[in-house]
Structure 1
Amino acid sequence: MMKGVHFLAIVALLSLASSLVSAFDPSPLQDICVAVDDPKSAVFVNGKFCKDLKYAKAEDFFYSGLQKPGNIDDKIGSSVTTVNVDKIPGLNTLGISLVRIDYAPYGQNPPHTHPRGTEILTVIEGTLLVGFVTSNPENRLFTKVLNKGDVFVFPIGLIHFQFNVGKTNAVAFAGLSSQNAGVITIANTVFGSNPPINPDFLAKAFQLDKNVIEDLQKKF
Structure 2
Amino acid sequence: EDDIIAIDENMNIDQKTLEKYKKSIEKQKKVIDKEKSNIVEDNFERESNDYAQPNTHYVTVTGGTMGKVVDLGIDDEANMGAAMAPAACDTIVTHFEESGRSPDYYDGIFTGDLGRHGKEMLEYLLSKEGITLPKYYMDCGASYFTPEQKTFQGGSGAGCVNTVFNSYILKKMQRGELKRVLLVPTGALLNKDTPLQKETIPGVSHAVTFESHPFLQ
TM-score between both structures, scaled by the size of structure 1: 0.25
Question: Which protein has the larger Cα radius of gyration, Structure 1 or Structure 2?
Answer: 2
Q: Which has the higher strand share?
A: 1
TM-score by length of 2: 0.25
Query: By percentage of residues, which structure has more helix?
Result: 2
